[in-house]
Structure formats: C-alpha cells, structure tokens
Amino acid sequence: MSNLFDLSSKVAVVTGASSGLGVQMALVLARQGAKVALLARRLEKLNTVKQQLEQETGTEALAIKCDVTKEDQIQAAAKKIVENWGKIDILVNNAGVSGMGSSEELPAADWQKVIDVNLTGVFLCAKNFGKYMVEQKYGKIINTASIFGQVGNTAFPVAAYHASKGGVINLTRALAAEWAKYNITVNAIGPGFFESEMTAAIKQDEQANNFGKAGNPMHRWGKAGELDGAVVLLASDASSYITGQTIFVDGGWTAI
C-alpha cells in the first residue's frame, strides 16, 4: 500500500506557497518524496519556505516569484520548472485571497480582484501547467476550494469569495471531464476553518472564532496537518480513478 502514496519520482508545483496552507501542502508533498516548485508573489518568504522544506525533507525545491493573475509569469514559471526537472506531474492550485464587503456596497474592483486570483488564476495555472501534462499523458491537479464554495454563511459578507470558490468546484468538474482522456485527474479540496494568514483576524475575533468552531459537528478548527491525507491521496496514484471530485476537510461543516 505504501507504494500507492509514493511521490519520489514526481515533480509538484504549489501556488500560494509562501504561507499558511500552501506551506503545509508543499511540505507533505516533499515528505512523500516529490520535488516541489514553490510559487507566490513574495520571493523572500518563498526562499524561507524553500530552506525549511529542503532541511526537513532532503528533497529539492525551487522558489519562483509568480503572480497567478499574470499569464506570462505562469508560463515563465512552467518553463523554468521543466528546464530544471524535465516535467510537471502535480499542480496544487492554492493561491487565493478573501475580500470582505457587503454585497450592496462592494466595489466592482474588489469583486474582480477576488475572481481574478481565486478563479481565473486557477484556470490560467491549470491551462499552462496542464499543457505539459497533456503532452506526457499524465497529471494530477488539485484545486483549493472551500466550504464557502458549497454553502453560504451568515457571519461574513464575502459574496465574491463564495462565488469564486463555487466556480472552482465546477471548473474542477469541467477540467476533469475534458482531460480524463489524457490520464489527468482534476480534483479539489474544500477546507473548513484552518489557521492561516488569511484567517488570522477571524481567529482573534471571539465572535468569529466561535462561529468557526460552532458550525461543524467537531466544534473546533482544523489543525496543522489535517489536510495532509487528502493532499497525498489526490496527488498520488492511489486516486487514479478519482476525478472531478471535491473532498471537504471541514469537521463535518458541509454535512449539516
């Protein structure tokens, strides 16, 4: 069974890898043996993660500055990775932003920023990294969705975030159907409330923190490492017949 989860011959790409869940995802892929390209806009933070990853796992890593809303930067990153390692096997589309504001007052520019990063960025990365997967007739794409892509909420006015993550879930299905003939699986992970840079303000606010805990049957936030199993499953050949699915790692939030 352990061979099913072995990634030692694989090359992985993680976007939004400079903090939070992106770091956790990059680390677990490296622990399973994959070489990992770390992409984000903050190169200084990426270099710190690169050092941490290489020291803890002994595998190779690349730190590449990349804005997922800029297709030329994505193309340049893909080219650099292939020049270094010869292929791209795994893509984790994790870059994202939140964007809070009441729907009756939300500026169009704020709406567009969330859509550009959370949805269009996922598509542009899938498109440009996916081209290499199509050529090699193999690939594993994992998109970071959210419980808020499946349900609404009464605590935070984040309609743009809801819309973008709902779009990610159905884009996942669409790409899975289109690329199955190339032996590419496309799935998503829908985290509940996990501690990260994006959710720090929520965790510090008592009312919001309680909302995050009370909304699921386990009555707690997700802990560091509790996404690891889903990431490894969807990145490995253990999921060779799973595609177009969203796995919610949420303590049961979307079950009630």
Residues annotated as catalytic are 161
Residue 133 identity (one-letter amino acid) = M
Q: Burial letters for 232-253: b for 16+ Cβ neighbours within 10 Å, e otherwise? A: bbbbbeebeeebbbbbbbbbeb
Nearest CA to 255 among 215, 214, 209, 212?
215
Sheet with 35-40: list strands edge to edge. 61-65, 35-40, 11-15, 90-93, 139-144, 184-191, 246-249
Q: Give whole-number Cα distances, 72 to 38, 43, 65, 79, 142, in Å.
A: 17, 17, 12, 11, 22
